[in-house]
Structure 1
Amino acid sequence: MNPFSFNTTPSLRMGAGLAGELGQITRPICGDRVLLVTDPGMMATGLVQQATDCLRAAGVEVTLFDQVQADPPEEIVLQAAQQALGKTGVIGFGGGSSLDVAKLAALLAASNQPLAEAYGIGNAQGPRLPLVLVPTTAGTGSEVTPISIVTTGASEKMGVVSPLLLPDMALLDPELTLGLPAHVTAATGIDAMVHAIEAYASVNANNNPISRALAVEALGLMGRMLLRAVQKPDDLEARTGMLLGSMLAGQAFANSPVAAVHALAYPIGGHYKVPHGLSNALVLPHVLRFNAQVAPQAYAALLPHV
C-alpha cells in the first residue's frame, strides 16, 4: 500500500430536526456574534428565518449575508469577508455556493490574506474564524471538503484548496432538503455520484482505501435513493440517504481528487451558466466511455453499487 493522507471535518452532527437546535449546537463553536451566509433562494423558503430565530434564542447576535450567487464571483466572496470582520464565527447555510463563500469569508476575515494569493493548493494562510456548515442540498459535499470554487472574470473558475477550509463542524439535517424541486435534486445528486465515481477511479497518488470505501458506500446510497427523492420530494428516508451519500462522497473526493468529468464540466458551467450537476451529467457518459478502455477494473467494481 502506498503512503496516503486523509483529512475531513473533525465533527459531524446528523439527524432530522437538528437545525432546530442550531443556536445551542453552534454557539460553543462560533461564539455570540456570527455571520450567517446564504442566498436569496434560501431566503424565500423561510428556513433562514427559522435558523436566525434559533440562533437569537440562544443569545447569538446574527448578521445576515444573503447575496450568494451560483458559481459565486470574487466580489461576492469579498463582500462576505468584509461582513465577517469583527465576528466570532461564520455559519454557512445553503447549497454548495453558500458553503464555499462561508469558508472563504471565515478565512479572509481572520487572515487578512488577499484572495488572489490564496488560489491554488496549499496557498491559503490562517488563521480563520470558527466555522460551521449546514448543507441544504445533497450534492457538493462542501461541508467536508477543503475546497472553495470562485468565478474570476467573466467565466474562469479558480479554487482555493487548503485544510484550513474544513469547518469545525458539519451539521446535516435532512429535513432541510425536503421539498427540493426535482431538477435540483437530480442535478445535485448526479454531482455527488460523480464525486464518488471519480474518487474511486482516480489515478491520483493519494487514492486510498478509505476514500474508495466511502465512495462505494456513497454510490450505493445514492443509487438506491436518488430516483425516490426525485419522485417523492418529501420522502425523509430518501432525503436522509441522499444527504449522507453526498457527505460520504465529499469525504472521498476531498482526499482522492476528481478528474476529467469535473475538469470538463467547470468551463461548461463558467461559459454557459449551466448548473454544475447538469454539466457533470452531460460530460459523464463520454468520460466513462473514454476511461473504460484503460480502467475497466475500477468501473466494473463500481457497477454493482449503482
Structure 2
Amino acid sequence: MSDDFTFHYGPQLVSGIGASANLAPLLPDGPVLFVTDANLRALGLTDAALSGFAGRELAVFDEVQEDPSEASALGAVELGRSIGAKAVIGFGGGSPMDVAKAAAYLLGSGEPIEDIYGVGAATGEGLPLVLVPTTAGTGSEATPISILTVGETSKKGIVAPALYADWAVLDAGLTTGLPRHVTAATGVDAMVHAIEAFTTKRLKNPVSDALAKEALRLLSANIRAACDTPNDLAVRDAMLRGSYLAGVAFANAPCAGVHALAYPLGGHFHVPHGLSNALMLPHVLAHNMPVAREMYAELAVEIAPDLASLGTQARAQCFVEALVSIAADIGLSPKLADVGIEAGHLDLLADEAMKQERLLVNNPVPITREDARRMYEAAL
C-alpha cells in the first residue's frame, strides 16, 4: 500500500426510516426524471417518494430490467429530454440506479453514450442526482460506476467522478419486503465489495480499509437475521449502512477477480449478480490466498472476533470457511450446476472473464484464462 492516496467520499447522505418520502427538497426546481422498475412501482414502494413531488412536473421511467441495457439508459434519457428534466432520481436496486447515473450524466453533458464507456472518459457535468437504494447490496448509490449490457451479453462500465450522485438516501423501510433470496444475494454482493476493496491490488488505502472492515462487520453480523426476520428494521438498517460503506470503499479501492468472473454468469446465463459473486467467491479467495493471506486473516476477526488468537494461516482459512457457511445458511446455491451451467460452458465463461480487464487488473494475484477456467470448473 502506498503512503500517498486520494479519496472521494461520494454523495452527501441522508439516512432514516421514511426518508425516501422527502426527496423534493434535495433537488433544484424544475421537472424531475424518476428512474425505477415496474415491479417496485407495482409493489407500491415508490408511492411515498412520488407523492412528495405533488405539484411538480415529474416523469417516471420504469422500463429498467435486471442487468440493464444500454437501450434502457437511452430510453430514460429520451424521456428526460422530453420534459426538460432538471434533475434525476434513481430508485431501486443496482439496475435502476445505474441507469439513473448514466441518464443524469448524458442529460447534463449531451454526449453520445459510446464516447463515455471505460474509466475516466466521462469528463462533463451531469444533472443533479439523488439515489435511493431498495436493496442492501449493490452500493451503487455510493459509486461513480454504471454497468450496462451492450448488445446481447457484453457488460460495459462507465466509471468517472462525474457519475457520483449529489445525495444518497438510505431508508431501511424500503428493504423489508424483499424476498429472502434477494436479501441473501444482495447481502453477499455487499460483502464481496468490502472484501475486494480491502484486498485490491490498486488504490488500496487506509480510509477505504477502515470503511471496508466496518462494512464487513455490519453485514456479516446481520445478514442471517435479515433473511430470517425480514421485518426487523434495526437489522435492515445495519445492512443498508454496511452496503453503503462497502460502496464508498470500493468506489475508491476497486473490485477485482470475484466480480470479473461473476459478470459472465449474469451476462450469458442471467444469474443474479449477488448470487454470481457468491458462487465464485471461495474459488477466487483460494486463488488469491498466497498473496492475500494476511489480509484475509485481518478480515476474519471482523466476522468472528474469537478467531483473533489463531495464527495467520488458520485465521485466513477460517475466513473462507465462514463465508461459505454464511452463503449456505442464507440459502444460496453453492454450485454453478444449480443455475444451469455445465462443463460445456467453461470455455465461453473463461473467454468472457478475460474481457473484464477493468477488474482483473485489480486482483492481488494475476488471473490467466487457464486460471479462470479452472475456477469455473471448481465451482461446477
TM-score (norm 1): 0.96
Q: Is the 8 A contact 1:202 1:256 kept in 2?
A: yes
Structure 2 unpaired stretches of 5+ = 304-380
CA RMSD of aligned residues (A): 1.0
Q: Is the 8 A contact 1:146 1:163 kept in 2?
A: yes
Q: Secondary structure at the match of 2:89?
A: strand
Aligned partner of 1:68: which letter?
V
In the alignment, the residues of structure 2 paired with residue 48 and residue 39 of structure 1 have an alpha-carbon distance, to the nearest angstrom, of: 10
Q: Is the 8 A contact 1:30 1:132 kept in 2?
A: no
Match of 2:63 in 1: 67
Offset of residue 188 of structure 1 = 0.2
In the alignment, the residues of structure 2 paired with residue 226 and residue 30 of structure 1 have an alpha-carbon distance, to the nearest angstrom, of: 37
TM alignment of 1:107-118, pairs within 5 A: 107-118=105-116
Q: Is the 8 A contact 1:30 1:131 kept in 2?
A: no
Match of 2:40 in 1: 42
Higher relative contact order (CA 8 A, sep 6+): 1
Offset of residue 60 of structure 1 = 2.2
Match of 2:311 in 1: none
Offset of residue 294 of structure 1 = 1.9
Correspondence 1:195 to 2:231? no
Offset of residue 295 of structure 1 = 1.5
Aligned partner of 1:278: which letter?
L
Correspondence 1:219 to 2:220? no
Q: Is the 8 A contact 1:8 1:145 kept in 2?
A: no
Q: Is the 8 A contact 2:35 2:89 kept in 1?
A: yes
Q: Is the 8 A contact 1:30 1:90 kept in 2?
A: no
Q: Secondary structure at the match of 1:69?
A: coil
Match of 1:126 in 2: 124
In the alignment, the residues of structure 2 paired with residue 91 and residue 172 of structure 1 have an alpha-carbon distance, to the nearest angstrom, of: 13
In the alignment, the residues of structure 2 paired with residue 259 and residue 19 of structure 1 have an alpha-carbon distance, to the nearest angstrom, of: 32
Match of 2:261 in 1: 264
Match of 2:229 in 1: 232
In the alignment, the residues of structure 1 paired with residue 132 and residue 245 of structure 2 have an alpha-carbon distance, to the nearest angstrom, of: 15
Q: Is the 8 A contact 2:21 2:50 kept in 1?
A: no
Match of 1:245 in 2: 242
Offset of residue 30 of structure 1 = 3.6
Q: Which residue among 296, 300, 304 is the counterpart of 1:299?
A: 296
Match of 1:159 in 2: 157
Q: Is the 8 A contact 2:21 2:51 kept in 1?
A: no
In the alignment, the residues of structure 2 paired with residue 103 and residue 88 of structure 1 have an alpha-carbon distance, to the nearest angstrom, of: 14
Q: Which moved more, 1:175-184 or 1:191-200?
A: 175-184
Task: List per-residue Cα deviations over 1:253-284 (Å, max 9, x = no partner).
Answer: 00000100000001111010000000000000
Task: List per-residue Cα deviations over 1:26-80 (Å, max 9, x = no partner).
Answer: 2xx2423100000011012112122211111xx3221000000111111111000
Match of 1:13 in 2: 14
Match of 2:353 in 1: none
Offset of residue 124 of structure 1 = 0.8
Aligned partner of 2:7: which letter?
F
Offset of residue 137 of structure 1 = 0.5
Match of 1:95 in 2: 93
Report runs of 4+ in structure 1 exceeding 4 Å deviation. none
Q: Is the 8 A contact 1:120 1:159 kept in 2?
A: yes
Q: Is the 8 A contact 2:136 2:175 kept in 1?
A: yes
Q: Is the 8 A contact 1:139 1:192 kept in 2?
A: yes
Q: Is the 8 A contact 1:17 1:173 kept in 2?
A: yes
In the alignment, the residues of structure 2 paired with residue 233 and residue 55 of structure 1 have an alpha-carbon distance, to the nearest angstrom, of: 29
Aligned partner of 1:42: which letter?
L
| Count of residues in Structure 1 that have an aligned counterpart in Structure 2 | 300
Match of 2:72 in 1: 76
Task: List per-residue Cα deviations over 1:149-181 (Å, max 9, x = no partner).
Answer: 000111110000000000111011111111211
Match of 1:22 in 2: 23
Match of 2:29 in 1: 31
Aligned partner of 1:240: which letter?
D
Q: Secondary structure at the match of 2:75?
A: helix
Aligned partner of 1:217: which letter?
E
In the alignment, the residues of structure 1 paired with residue 215 and residue 52 of structure 2 have an alpha-carbon distance, to the nearest angstrom, of: 31
Task: List per-residue Cα deviations over 1:220-273 (Å, max 9, x = no partner).
Answer: 000111000000110101100000000000000000001000000011110100
Q: Is the 8 A contact 1:120 1:160 kept in 2?
A: yes
In the alignment, the residues of structure 1 paired with residue 49 and residue 65 of structure 2 have an alpha-carbon distance, to the nearest angstrom, of: 20
Offset of residue 20 of structure 1 = 2.2
In the alignment, the residues of structure 2 paired with residue 175 and residue 224 of structure 1 have an alpha-carbon distance, to the nearest angstrom, of: 19
Q: Secondary structure at the match of 1:90?
A: strand
Match of 1:175 in 2: 173
In the alignment, the residues of structure 2 paired with residue 30 and residue 286 of structure 1 have an alpha-carbon distance, to the nearest angstrom, of: 47
Q: Secondary structure at the match of 1:295?
A: helix
Q: Is the 8 A contact 1:8 1:166 kept in 2?
A: no
TM alignment of 1:49-60, pairs within 5 A: 49-56=47-54, 59-60=55-56
Match of 1:148 in 2: 146
In the alignment, the residues of structure 1 paired with residue 62 and residue 28 of structure 2 have an alpha-carbon distance, to the nearest angstrom, of: 19
In the alignment, the residues of structure 2 paired with residue 20 and residue 73 of structure 1 have an alpha-carbon distance, to the nearest angstrom, of: 28
Aligned partner of 1:275: which letter?
P
Q: Secondary structure at the match of 1:126?
A: coil
Q: Is the 8 A contact 1:226 1:242 kept in 2?
A: yes
